[in-house]
Each structure stands twice: as C-alpha cells, then as structure tokens.
Structure 1
Amino acid sequence: MFSNNKYLVLFESGDENFNSITFYNHLTETTLWQYAITGLGAEKVSKILGVFGQTLVVVCGYSRFVEIPNGNKVNAKLEKIIGLYVNTGHLLFETDQYEINGETHFLGSGLNTNWVFNDGETFVHAILDDYLSFDTQTGKITALNIREMAQEKGINGLQSSSIEGNKIGFRAFDDQLGGFQSVIGIFNTQSLKIEDHYTYADARKEGAYFKPGQPIVSGNKIYALDSKNTLHIYERE
C-alpha cells in the first residue's frame, strides 16, 4: 500500500502475487481506476515509488532468461519501472533497461529497495554498483559505472539508502574486511564522485555490519545503525 495526502494505492493479490493496482482518491472517496500489470509481462508489484506530478511510478518484478558471460542462459529475477497517469491509469512508459558505454543492462531485482529521492523533485536515484538517475516524467534512465571509482577507494558493492539534496548515503563492503558491510559514505549526484567514506574497522571482530537502509545523511553528519543496534555518527569536515 502507498498513500499521500490525496491518493491511496492498493495492490491486489492474484496467484499469491500482487499484480493489480487500485488507485483511490482520498478527497473524493472514489476509486479512480484499476490496472493489471500482467498485461506488461510483469508478475508482481515490488514497490510504489510515489506520485511525481501527474505520474504514478511503480516498480514491477518479472522473470526472463538472460545470457551470462559463459554463454549459458539463466532465469533471472528482474525489475521494470512503469509510469501511469494518475487521472486515468493510462500507461505513460515502461523501462527495464539502461545503457553504460554502449552496453545494455537490465534492472536487477535488488534495485527496488535502493531508489531514493528528495520530496518535490522528479528525479529518482539509485546505487547498486552502478549509479542510476531516473526521470519520472519520461521514463529515461541515465547511468554511470562507478565501480572503478569505488575500487580505487578499496570498497565495493555500493547500495544507496538515503538522500539529502545532492548527497546520496550508501553502504558498502571494505575490500580488506571481506563479507561485512562495514563501510558507509556519500556519493554526490552533481559532481558524480564519491565524496566521503568511513569504515567500521572493528566490524569483523565484533561480528557486526551496517544494517540495510543505512546510513542517513543529515547536514554535515552521517548516522548509521549497525546489526547490534549501535548508532555510529560521523561528522564531515
């Protein structure tokens, strides 16, 4: 379910998947429209990103066979983003791919938890190794490979969690510490650079890691809760 001060959006279940959207107007207490995503080849509603202007933006999950580097094909869990006109439910766009340096990439299923945006803005952002900027009015995705930038800093597996202005908070892995998400940092959407990152050096020793959804960026401080519910506060210079 998604709601704001005007609209309520409900997902309805069919075959154990949420595959139908009901759009309800709080102010008039009326159902405006319903939309079945199965007609797009989608299997379930993964997330409602929100209403941006006159567009309801929805992340849908689906499966398809894709070729992997060794030439084999695997049944991959993927996402597509659709835009629906709020007054009628008319499909405005659907997007499931983006390009980096001429190569086409599909939206992976993990992305639905990584989209972040500022209230009142029409662009939505995500980091899942690559940085994606999504225009909610056109359905266009602009992407940047930031893996080499991260590798130069000794980190990998970046995942966005929050945004304040042009600063996206992310968590990541430290190359030296291995399988613990012990790094948090900031990516700047204007300079397209990793501005800061901080490592929880005792993460392995204490058996802790930064939780999903961390950190939160606020002013010159970064707040992050670890798996043992200890709050870490870093102040930027």
Structure 2
Amino acid sequence: MKEVQYISNVDNFLVVDDKLYFSNGKEVIDEKGHSILNCPLSLQFLNYKEPYFYIPDIYGNTYLIMEKETRFLKDIFIKKVISDSFLLVSKDKKTAILNIINNEFHYILNSRIFKFLEWKEKLFFKNKNTIQGIEIYTGQFLWEFPLSSLGKGKDYNTDEEFDYEVEQFVGIYNNILWVYIERGGFIGLDIQTGELKHHILGIPKGNLLGKVDSYVDSEEFYIFYRAKFILDEKKGIIIGLIADRFFEIDLNKEKITPMLYGMRDKMEKMNLKKYGVSGNTSLQGDLLYFYNDKELQFGILDINTKEIIYISEPIAVVERDDSFTRLRDLKVSENKVYILDSNHTLHIFEREE
C-alpha cells in the first residue's frame, strides 16, 4: 500500500460509504474540502448512523446533521440513532427516547448509560453491577443479570479478589447476547430471559496453536486480553487481536470452545514488535487491519489462514520535542486505509494495483 495523502490538524474522522469526513475541533469537513459544520465550541468525536451524523461538543450538546438542516440539541447527548424519527439520548442525567418529529421526550431510565447495545427495539446495558434488558420505546423491564452471580475474580499475581465489570457488549448471535467481562472472559445471555447460557473464562491450554509470551495467564488457561472484540455475523465467530494473540470463538459449534492462535513467530519473522499491537482493529471481509502504535506500522491479518499478509513500513511522522508520536485510530474503506497519529495528522494509504 502507498501513502497518497496526509491531512494535518485532524482531531477525529469517519469513513461513511467510502467517503471521508474529519474534524479539526471546530469544523467538520468532507473529503472534497467542503465544510459541513462550523461550531463555536470544541467538538468531540464524529458519529454516523443512517441517515444522520451526530457530533457532541465538550459541554454535552449535540449537533444533528440531517439532509436539509442541522439541529443544535442543547444539553442533549445523543447515544444512538434508533430510526429516522427516534434518538436514544441522555438528558438531565437520565436516558430518554427523543422523537425528532415533534421534539417530545420519553424517559425510559432514571440514570445515564455508558455501555450498551441496541438491537431490534430492545436495549441491553450495564447498570451498576448488573446487565439489564428493556424495551427501548417504552422502558418496559425485561430482565436483569447480576454480575455478582459470577462470583469474585482473583488476581493471578496477588490473589486479591475483585468484582467483575462489563468491558464490552460484543453483539448478538443466535439469540445470545455476548458480553466481554474485564478479567472474566465472555458470558452469553439469553436475550429473552437474561439466563446465563455460556461462561468462557479463558482458552484451555490445549487450544493454543503457535507460540505466545505468557506472563499473566492462569495455570488452567490463557486469559483474554483487552482486545477490541468483533462479532463477524456472517461467519458466526468472535475475533480479537492484541499483542501476539489472535482469539477466535466459533459460536456455531454445539460446545463453544475458544481458540488462541499465537502470532509471536509470525510477527518476529516480519520484524513486527508485538507489544505495540494495541487491539484497535478493523475487519473488512476476511481481512483484519491492525496497527502497531509504537513502531508506527499497520498490518493485515487473513482471519481464515491466520497469516499476516502485509506489514507496512514505518509511517513518516513529524516528531515533537515534548512527546513521542503514536498511532491513535484506524479505519478502512473499500480501497483505502486511514490512520490518525497523536500529532493530529491523518495518513491515507491506497492499495496499489
């Protein structure tokens, strides 16, 4: 791949339908250089869910960019676009559904939510030490799963006990809600009842193919590190890559057993230092794009063969005297790779024929 362009002064960016949009903190610009939003306050991250862009500022307001108008929603933080007419929002430290046709609010929770998954008019979310499910339009309670029912976790080095916490709602497959628990593996909950169907603490030692460095694993199994886990709905698998570990959980099997593919030798062969592979990845088809934030490289892993098929040369960056440059974000379109570094430079790479 070849770097074909770089853009300076970029805080955040999005790729929608293979088109680039980026923000410099006060303005949102499309790939043709046209401004689509000017803001007197500092903007945060860019979001898009068909058919709207929604962009919060640092004071908890949100700009909703529609086809024919842009709305400023004061003291309203959009969590998710549910449909053309309804938004899931935070307002007055509560969670509500906003009807943007008549500007009516319907409060569904008396608290804000931060980790959640919206699916087919249902909302699954973390609430203190529980996972709960409700009907999204009415707030009707469906079920509750207490994390305390998993028992206590134990630090492998100090034996100190700790409470389990939700790290990521990964997705839903075959009516099972898959949740990654920090230092507690994966749980699978029945979406209708909240019943615990699966609890995968780690990868059995016999399920390692290849080699990994092992420092904090238990005696019985390899642990799941904090990767960005992705549910591939077409294949029915959960995957994740971090350091020299590629995780795969096949959800189609009657007995769900995770696999760990060690990438240590493959990374060393390609002169890739594993500890910079941070877990921030992007899946496109059968190819998993990842980056090494310390060595300023990105790579491509074929999830079928488990082979690393590409490693870039170190990305040319402008070093600052007060800090080391790191890679911050990666996104992929049909034929381009976009990587943002910590100096607010967006690097754009294109596949060579």
What band does the TM-score fall into relative to the shorter chain?
A: 0.7 to 0.9
Once the two structures are superposed, the pairs formed by residues 63-212 of structure 1 within 5 Å of their partners are: 78-98=183-203, 99-101=207-209, 104-108=221-225, 110-111=226-227, 114-128=228-242, 129-136=244-251, 139-157=256-274, 158=277, 159-172=279-292, 180-203=294-317, 205-206=319-320, 207-211=324-328
The question of whether the paired residues in 1 share the 8 Å contact of 2:171 and 2:231 is answered with: no
**Aligned match of 2:80:** none
Q: 1:30–1:194: structure 2 CA closer, same or farther, 3 Å change rule? A: same
Q: SS at the partner of 2:260?
A: strand
Q: SS at the partner of 2:261?
A: strand
Aligned amino acid, residue 325 of structure 2: A
RMSD over aligned CA atoms reads 2.4
Q: 1:156–1:204: structure 2 CA closer, same or farther, 3 Å change rule? A: farther
| Cα distance in 1 for residues equivalent to 2:126 and 2:143 | 12
| Cα distance in 2 for residues equivalent to 1:123 and 1:6 | 24
The alignment status of 1:47 with 2:172, answered yes or no, reads no
Deviation at 1:200, TM superposition (A): 3.1
Q: 1:204–1:130: structure 2 CA closer, same or farther, 3 Å change rule? A: farther
Deviation at 1:145, TM superposition (A): 0.5
The runs of at least 4 aligned residues of structure 1 exceeding 6 Å deviation read none
The question of whether the paired residues in 2 share the 8 Å contact of 1:133 and 1:142 is answered with: yes
**Aligned match of 2:39:** none
Q: SS at the partner of 2:123?
A: strand
Deviations 1:128-177 (A, max 9, x none): 1211112345542122111110111111222341101111111126xxxx
Deviation at 1:121, TM superposition (A): 4.7
| Cα distance in 2 for residues equivalent to 1:153 and 1:2 | 38
Indicate which of 14, 31, 37 corresponds to 2:141.
Answer: 31
Q: Greater relative contact order (Cα 8 A, min sep 6): structure 1 or 2?
A: 2
Identity of aligned residues (%): 21
Q: Which has the higher strand share?
A: 1
Question: Normalising by structure 2, what TM-score?
Answer: 0.53
The question of whether the paired residues in 2 share the 8 Å contact of 1:24 and 1:31 is answered with: yes
Deviations 1:78-102 (A, max 9, x none): 2310000111111111012113159
Instruction: Tell which structure's C-alpha radius of gyration is larger.
Output: 2
Deviations 1:49-69 (A, max 9, x none): 1222301111112xxxxxxxx
Gaps of 5+ in 1: 14-18, 62-77, 174-179
Deviation at 1:199, TM superposition (A): 3.1
Deviation at 1:39, TM superposition (A): 1.1
Gaps of 5+ in 2: 1-115, 152-162, 211-219
